Amino acid sequence: MPEERRGVGPRGVVLIAIALAGVWAAVALELAPQGLIPSSGGLRVARDLLSRAVSPALSYEAEVPPGTTPLLLKAGEAAVATVTFAAAASSLALAVGLVLGFLGSSAWWAGDAAGGEGRWGRVVQRGAAPALYGLTRLLIAFMRSIHELVWAVLFLAAFGLSNLSAVIAIAIPYAGTFAKVFSELIDEAPRDAAHALRAAGAPPSMIFLAGLLPRALPDMSAYAFYRFECALRSSAVLGFFGFPTLGYYLAASFENLHYGEVWTYLYALLLLVIAVDRWSGALRRRFVA
């Protein structure tokens, strides 16, 4: 009879630690189940809100001055603005993230890419390259660690409301994330082509551009597209801070108790995200086959 395994393995320890941490957090936050029961006011809101889920508003629920854009057109405009902000932000983030991702990948600096022969080559290898690599990693971590909404609050405080500041607020943490993931993808890409190119005597820049990069490109594209979907959500939420995206109208309708309109904007956001999710799924199947 095989010896029975006794005690708790490392994975068990992790599971127990997670459970204990959860209990600690729930106790500290006073998360009692009865806290989930809405107040009578909350119940009324819940009933009114949920009852409109199947009948989103098709026109405004209150009198509007003549000449106001019809509700559905307004929702369409807000959706277009959401896409516009997301596209501008993710394209900017992609450009910055690609540069930082190259600089932050160890393959880029691994000996041959940065170096060269001779005295200057050695100086670059020993001193400049590790310093630049470390600085890039630090910069990436810093950009990522501040949330886009916090960047937005900072820019709002410094510049006031301007569309460009929303785009930059999203682009900074996204560029950091792109850089982190891209550098990892490049470092993990198969090295077969790079080795073959090196054996054939190709210069370091060609080894990187023609040997490593193409192997990482499908995954990089798929990831970039996934981040575009995330940018849509971020851009919608920035509306809560006064930018003309879906969140702005959603919050305004909710505060005016126009729950039908809330659902109109929610469904617009849902359609947008699901459409991009489907599109990116179809792309991934063709790309990463």
Report if residue 6 touches another protein, rule: CB under 8 A.
no
* Tokens 């560029």, residue located: 175
**For another protein, the closer CB: 90 or 112:** 90
Report if residue 10 touches another protein, rule: CB under 8 A.
yes
- Work out which of 52, 250, 258, 268 binds another protein, going by CB under 8 A: 250
Report if residue 64 touches another protein, rule: CB under 8 A.
no
What are the backbone angles phi and psi of residue 140, rounded to the nearest 5°? -60, -45
**For another protein, the closer CB: 36 or 199:** 36
DSSP state letters, 255-284: HTT-HHHHHHHHHHHHHHHHHHHHHHHHHH
At 7, list the tokens. Answer: 């005690």
Helix, strand, coil shares of the chain as percentages rounded to 5? Answer: 75, 0, 25
**For another protein, the closer CB: 58 or 164:** 164
Report if residue 19 touches another protein, rule: CB under 8 A.
yes
By CB under 8 A, the residues from 128 to 147 that bind another protein are 141-142, 144-147
Report if residue 119 touches another protein, rule: CB under 8 A.
no
By CB under 8 A, the residues from 72 to 101 that bind another protein are 81, 83-85, 87-88, 91
- Work out which of 30, 40, 117, 200 binds another protein, going by CB under 8 A: 30
- Work out which of 2, 7, 35, 201 binds another protein, going by CB under 8 A: 35
Amino acid at the residue 85: F
Give the per-residue contact string, 150-189, with another protein (x = CB under 8 A; - = no): x--xx-xxxxx-xxxx-x----------------------
Report if residue 199 touches another protein, rule: CB under 8 A.
no
- Hey, how many other C-beta atoms are within 10 angstroms of the C-beta on 279? 13
| CA neighbor of 74 nearest in space, from 55, 85, 58, 56 | 58
- Hey, how many other C-beta atoms are within 10 angstroms of the C-beta on 26? 12
Report if residue 231 touches another protein, rule: CB under 8 A.
no
Report if residue 24 touches another protein, rule: CB under 8 A.
yes
At 150, list the tokens. Answer: 């916090």
Task: Tell me the C-alpha distance between 175 and 89, whole Å.
Answer: 9
